[in-house]
Amino acid sequence: MYRKYALITGFSVGVGLAGSALGDDLPDAVATIPGSIEDVRIGGSWENGARSGAYRIVVTRSGGDPTIARLFIQWLAYAENGESVVDKSIEITELADLGLDIIDYISESDSDGLSVYIETINPTDGFDETYELHLFSPTDYRFGPASN
């Protein structure tokens, strides 16, 4: 029994050391993501001349009662070596100012930018409402109640 345990432990330690020897910092970076970041999704892709990448949608929530969500949009740019970096990052402060929680959202991208349809709930009275976000650039977007 002891021998099996020693072999398994030795294998585990060996794998752990091999992973560290490769210089992969990604597991450590993932471990540092704050607990308030509760949802991260790729929302679509973008192109600007020779540059391209993906939109990343990030939802954070404050703990306690009531729970309030905040919404961030990031432009991930693809480097020539295949790596991606955060090129731009903005918060949709208009949503945070409403003091709502996000139930769900869907997104779609096209040549004009990114559209996000956001289902919210008011944590104080339980009423739900849908909002639209249309992003054309990090400095040009429209946010408001859904038009449908």
60-117: pLDDT as tens digits:
998 777 889 999 999 999 988 888 999 999 999 999 999 999 999 999 999 999 999 9
Sequence-ordered strand ranges (E) for the chain: 37-48, 51-62, 68-78, 84-91, 101-110, 113-121, 128-137, 140-145
* Residue 61 amino acid letter: R
| Pairing outcome for strands 101-110 and 84-91 | unpaired
Q: Please determine, for residue 1, whether its predicted confidence score (pLDDT) is greater than 70.
A: no
What pTM was computed for the model? 0.80
